[in-house]
Structure 1
Amino acid sequence: MKYVLYGRVIDSVKDEAVENGMVIVDGERILYAGERNDEMVTDDMQVRDAGNGTIMPGFIDAHAHLTGEESRNSSGTSAFDALLTVVKDLGELVDAGVTGVRDMSLFGKPLKNAVEKGNILGPRITPGGRVLSVSAGHCDFDTDLSVKEANEKSLTGYLMDGPEDCLRGVRQQFRDGAEFIKICATGGVSSAVDNINDVQFSDEELRVIVGEAARHGTYVTAHCTGTAGTLQALKCGVTCIEHGVMLDEECIAIMKEKDIPLVTTLSVALGLADMKNLPDFMMKKAVSVKESAMNSFRMAHEAGIRVALGTDYSNTGNTPFKHIGKEFYSLTRCGYTPMEAIKAGTVNGAYLMRKDQEIGTLEAGKLADLVIVNGNPLEDILVLADADNISTVMIGGKIVKG
């Protein structure tokens, strides 16, 4: 199928929009993106006119948990219930304009396979497996279970202690289809058994994890809240930081020198304190990091750190996929321009998915993953924050919404 799309074009390459723009799609790829040129249009092309809308790359959420979290409150509590809920969730992601996801859960690989085979509707998925944590660490959510039982049951975390256990844990994630590795370098807001400033792995454990990931040709990203654990992770070879809500000048300097990206998860960092039905310990932690988070992200912006949009959403009542585009607005609260926020949620996310040669920008030869948005996000970034404003979604040249 061939399409010609008329409208304002944001390609995530240039720093400005093409107001009288055009995108031509031939099969699964983009043939042209730029100024309108009707001489390129042929009779076999389907025409779509965005009017005052904007054609832009599909959104990429660089930090999501496809775990069917809402199934705990509705259909049931088994892994099967959760997986069926995730299938529904993937459709809601697409509806919100998301065409790519970097997932941290047990389900990532089978979901990726099902989407690629066309068995279910969903965005492109880069699976990271379960999040690696020490016992009594950030992903130790049920201390009534033994470590063995927790690892058998959890859809999100995998507990391990000591270098040998770390080696086994990393290899297990690759066995489950992980394409990158995520660890908890520090404590976190949502865990009851640790403090946000806790340093969780030893240097030796971290080097084992980073080394094994390198042998598989990939990288390690780290959940980081406390400053000391963030520094330790950076010095031990971690090459991406998630959250980064307590960065200091030394952290920023290392990240700048080594081109280490930051995934901000601002919608959670800034919004957690206002969410409903959270336990007291979580509320207290959330309030304690809100101001430092804003400061960290402003520092990262001033230093020119590569930033990717991530939400940390799992489609609960507090983290609905319908409003996943709110993260764009959240970035602008920390000094980012709307265009910088858009690049964070498109091309920079593609970079962390390791697919930036294929997706993330509107350029000739790339896969046609794009959205048409009602309005102009450069004038009002909040138009991206509601799925109802996303009129068309295309993945690989196929219209999956609109």
Structure 2
Amino acid sequence: MNHKYLFATISFGFLFNLSMAQNTYIHAGKFVDVRENRLLDTMTIIIDEDIILAVEKGFIKGNPGDKVIDLRRYTVMPGLMDMHVHIESQTSPNQFAERMTSNEADIAYNAAGYAETTLMSGFTTVRDLGGSGVNISLKHAIAAGKVVGPRIYTAGKSIAPTGGHADPTNGLKRSMMGDPGPTDGVINGESDSRKAVRHQVKLGADLIKITATGGVLSVARDGSAPQFQQDEINAVIQTAKDFGIHVAAHAHGDEGMKRAIAGGIHSIEHGTMMSEATMQLMISQNTWYVPTITAGMSAAAYARIPGYYHPLVKAKAETIGAQIQTTFEKAYQRGVKIAFGTDAGVFPHGENYREFIYMTEVGMPNLEAIQTATLRGAELLGLVDKVGVLEAGMWADIIAVDGNPEMDIQVMKEVVFVMKSGRIYKNEP
């Protein structure tokens, strides 16, 4: 047989099959270009399975058999990315008591519901910053198609010192406290720091989170003082770096932020009492800021409801919560690098869109706020070649909203279409 002819025949057959393969054509009335922060009109996104093939001007018709999705009345943009959620839990006046009564199975069932709610609100990728470890199993279940939810990158269990914000025994009676250690995410000293990181990586964590200062919602006295010595922070970050993963730092007080930044932290979460000197330090060190304004505003509001929080939590929520929006305004004006994050779980999952409202209230333009939840989130995760923009070669994570977000950011609540990795999960039009 003529092998040259055989190769030509196979090549022709491959090209013929490729031309006949069914693609999806999305006709977008308005299209958010998150690189340039502008709205384009009348665009078509062409998708092959889970990958974007092309983005073209005009409403392009495909071949017979291709699928067309009509979003000509809507605004289309990349799937949103929330860089700070707690997918296992949700705020409740009984939250502290539920820690004593919830089994892993209970947490998992609840988390599956929260994950689906998050995806249906337009968030196709999230960074989960601390839970019991169920978050790691949920990540795998979603990736395997067993559960509906966003793509999850998770820290597993947060790491704290004894009595710190993420010590799981805070508030318990003494007979139940015990002495949790590195495998529980509780450390004291450099050796513990390394072991705790290695253990979370062993369990399947994608990144590490430390509680660099006290926190608002833990049943512990202080909400802002530093909680790690510098050698402990350095050990956590260096060990994580050896594994090729990032470290995020929960931090309300300024000194804890400075220690974390000095150690090479990748992102500061909350940043409530951040000084201008620390803002400048973050700029010089290329450190990300994830504001979580919605969590602060929500905690302050819940603190006004009698009996909603434990008395220790109530006092901190009243004094710390509402400050975050002002800090965000100053950090944005100064030029700190910002990625969208909400702390969802501190407030009901599915209300993540509120962060856009709080960001734009103090001066960030609407489309730039959307950029923080798309392109900037991808940059923080190191996934700029996969997600965050609608361009050829990217994963087909696409949403649509009913309205013009450049004119009215409130429309981010009205998500009518959700596609993740080329699969449609919501199509209300």
2:104–2:134: 8 Å Cα contact kept in structure 1? no
Shift of 1:147: 4.7
Deviations 1:187-212 (A, max 9, x none): 11112323223110001111111110
Matching residue of 1:205 = 232
Worse-superposed segment, 266-275 or 43-52:
43-52
SS at match of 2:159: strand
For 1:88 and 1:293, locate their aligned partners in 2 and report how far apart those are by CA, in whole Å.
Answer: 28
Shift of 1:291: 5.4
Deviations 1:130-186 (A, max 9, x none): 11111111123334333545888xxxx722111111111111111111111110011
- Of residues 10, 16, 28, the one that matches 2:50 is 28
1:224–1:242: 8 Å Cα contact kept in structure 2? yes
Matching residue of 1:177 = 204
- Of residues 354, 364, 371, the one that matches 2:399 is 371
Q: Does 2:63 align with 1:42?
A: yes
Matching residue of 2:386 = 358
- Of residues 259, 263, 268, the one that matches 1:236 is 263
In structure 2, the CA distance between the partners of 1:262 and 1:93, relative to structure 1 (3 Å rule), is same
1:135–1:147: 8 Å Cα contact kept in structure 2? no
1:100–1:124: 8 Å Cα contact kept in structure 2? yes
Matching residue of 1:196 = 223
Matching residue of 1:142 = 171
Q: Does 2:314 align with 1:283?
A: yes
Identity %: 29
Q: What TM-score do you get using the length of structure 2 for normalisation?
A: 0.86
In structure 2, the CA distance between the partners of 1:77 and 1:346, relative to structure 1 (3 Å rule), is same
- For the aligned residue pairs, the C-alpha RMSD in angstroms reads 2.2
For 1:324 and 1:290, locate their aligned partners in 2 and report how far apart those are by CA, in whole Å.
Answer: 17
Count, aligned residues: 391
Matching residue of 1:15 = 37
For 1:360 and 1:147, locate their aligned partners in 2 and report how far apart those are by CA, in whole Å.
Answer: 44
- Of residues 321, 346, 357, the one that matches 1:329 is 357
Q: Show the 5 A alignment for 1:115-130.
A: 115-130=142-157
Ranges in structure 2 where 5+ consecutive residues have no aligned partner: 1-21
Q: What TM-score do you get using the length of structure 1 for normalisation?
A: 0.91
Structure 1 letter corresponding to 2:40 = V
Shift of 1:19: 2.0
Deviations 1:278-305 (A, max 9, x none): 2333333223235542332112211222
For 2:420 and 2:347, locate their aligned partners in 1 and report how far apart those are by CA, in whole Å.
Answer: 24
For 1:184 and 1:34, locate their aligned partners in 2 and report how far apart those are by CA, in whole Å.
Answer: 46
2:81–2:123: 8 Å Cα contact kept in structure 1? yes
In structure 2, the CA distance between the partners of 1:287 and 1:146, relative to structure 1 (3 Å rule), is closer
For 1:150 and 1:79, locate their aligned partners in 2 and report how far apart those are by CA, in whole Å.
Answer: 20
- Of residues 243, 254, 267, the one that matches 1:216 is 243
Matching residue of 2:8 = none
For 1:120 and 1:27, locate their aligned partners in 2 and report how far apart those are by CA, in whole Å.
Answer: 20
Q: Show the 5 A alignment for 1:89-168.
A: 89-104=114-129, 105=131, 106-140=133-167, 141-144=170-173, 145-148=176-179, 158-168=185-195
Shift of 1:116: 1.6
Q: Does 2:368 align with 1:347?
A: no
Shift of 1:70: 7.0
Structure 2 letter corresponding to 1:190 = L
Matching residue of 1:397 = 422
SS at match of 1:131: coil
Deviations 1:9-42 (A, max 9, x none): 113222201022222212111122252252x633
1:357–1:366: 8 Å Cα contact kept in structure 2? yes
SS at match of 2:33: coil
2:221–2:312: 8 Å Cα contact kept in structure 1? no
In structure 2, the CA distance between the partners of 1:190 and 1:301, relative to structure 1 (3 Å rule), is same
For 1:330 and 1:401, locate their aligned partners in 2 and report how far apart those are by CA, in whole Å.
Answer: 26
Deviations 1:30-78 (A, max 9, x none): 122252252x633332222223311111111111112244797799611
Ranges in structure 1 where 5+ consecutive residues have no aligned partner: none
Matching residue of 1:3 = 24
